[in-house]
C-alpha cells in the first residue's frame, strides 16, 4: 500500500517531519511518501494561504495519480483543497482535521483543540461545523505561536503548547485533546505524557484511517459532486489543466 502524504506548505523540514511521523505509525507493508508543492506559502495561517496552497495540493494529487498512490493525506489542519482533491482521484483523500475529529470522538465524548494562532482557531471552528463535530468540541484554544516556530528547536513552542493543553485539561471538562497543526506531528507523545490525557494528532490518525479504507476496498465515490472534473479549457497559468481526463 502506498500512501502519499501532502504537506500543503513549502517548508521542506516540516514535510520531512510529517513523513517521519507517518512512517512510524504505518503498518508493515505500507509505504509513505511525503511531498510538498514547489510553489506556495511557507506556512498556512489564514484563508488566503489556504486558497493559494489548494492549487499545490491539486498538483500533488495529479502527480500521485501518475505513481498510482493508494490513498492521500492532506497534512494541514485547515484541510485546504480537500474536496477538490477528492474530485481528482478514486483513491481515498483524508484531511488531518477531519481524521482527528473522528478519532477523538471514538475515545471521548468531549475534546478541545489546541492550535497555533487564534485566527486559525476560527478556521477550525468552521471545520467543526461543516463536518458535524461542533457538539463534541468544548473549546478551540490557541497557544499563539507562529507555525514555523514549530520548526525551531530553540523556540518555546512546545512549552507553550503544553501549557495550553494543561489549561484545556483543567478548565474544559474534556476527555481528549486534538492538536491543530500538521507541524505538531512529532509532539503527540511528549504532550500526552505531560498532560495525562489522550492526545490525537491528525497526520497519524489519517494514516490509520487511510489504511482502513484501502483495506476495505473503499475509495472516493465518483457519483455526484466528487465526480471527476468536467473537461474544459483553462487559460493563462492554468492552461495545463485544460480537458483533464480521469
pLDDT of residue 154: 77
pLDDT of residue 24: 97
Q: Which of 164, 62, 79, 183 is nearest to 118 (CA)?
A: 164
**CB neighbour list of residue 135: distance below 8 Å, 6 or more residues apart:** none
**Residue-averaged pLDDT of the chain:** 97
pTM score: 0.96
3-state secondary structure 64-75: HHHCCCCEEEEC
Domains and CATH numbers, the chain: 2-95+205-241 (3.40.50.12500), 97-202 (3.40.50.12500)
pLDDT of residue 108: 98
pLDDT of residue 153: 82
pLDDT of residue 195: 97
Q: Which three cell numbers stand for residue 140?
A: 478551540
pLDDT of residue 181: 96
Rounded Cα distance, 114 and 111, in Å: 10
* Distance from chain centroid for Cα 36: 13
Side-chain-side CA neighbours of 85 within 13 Å: the count stands at 30
8 Å CB contact between 92 and 210: yes
pLDDT of residue 246: 83
Rounded Cα distance, 94 and 6, in Å: 10
Rounded Cα distance, 7 and 36, in Å: 5
pLDDT of residue 218: 98
pLDDT of residue 241: 93
Rounded Cα distance, 221 and 54, in Å: 21
Residues in the chain, pLDDT under 50: none
Rounded Cα distance, 71 and 90, in Å: 9
Amino acid at each position: 500500500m502506498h500512501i502519499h502524504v501532502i504537506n500543503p506548505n513549502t517548508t521542506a523540514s516540516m514535510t520531512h517531519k510529517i513523513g517521519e511521523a507517518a512512517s512510524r505509525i504505518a503498518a508493515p507493508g505500507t509505504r509513505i511518501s511525503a511531498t510538498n508543492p514547489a510553489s506556495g506559502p511557507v506556512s498556512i495561517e489564514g484563508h488566503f494561504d489556504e486558497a493559494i496552497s489548494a492549487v499545490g495540493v491539486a498538483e500533488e494529487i495529479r502527480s500521485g495519480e501518475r505513481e498510482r498512490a493508494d490513498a492521500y493525506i492532506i497534512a494541514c489542519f485547515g484541510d485546504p483543497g480537500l474536496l477538490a482533491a477528492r474530485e481528482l482521484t478514486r483513491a481515498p483523500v483524508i484531511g488531518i482535521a477531519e481524521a482527528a475529529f473522528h478519532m477523538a470522538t471514538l475515545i471521548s465524548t468531549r475534546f478541545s483543540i489546541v492550535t497555533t494562532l487564534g485566527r486559525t482557531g476560527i478556521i477550525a471552528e468552521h471545520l467543526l461545523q461543516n463536518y458535524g463535530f461542533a457538539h463534541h468540541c468544548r473549546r478551540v484554544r490557541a497557544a499563539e505561536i507562529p507555525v514555523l516556530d514549530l520548526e525551531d528547536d530553540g523556540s518555546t513552542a512546545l512549552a507553550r503548547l503544553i501549557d495550553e493543553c494543561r489549561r484545556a485539561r483543567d478548565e474544559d471538562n474534556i476527555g481528549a485533546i486534538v492538536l491543530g497543526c500538521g507541524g505538531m506531528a512529532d509532539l503527540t507523545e511528549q504532550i500526552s505524557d505531560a498532560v495525562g490525557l489522550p492526545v490525537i494528532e491528525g497526520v497519524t490518525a489519517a494514516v490509520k484511517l487511510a489504511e482502513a479504507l484501502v483495506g476495505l476496498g473503499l475509495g472516493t465515490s465518483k457519483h455526484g459532486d466528487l465526480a471527476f472534473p468536467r473537461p474544459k479549457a483553462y487559460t493563462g497559468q492554468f492552461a495545463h489543466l485544460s480537458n483533464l481526463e480521469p
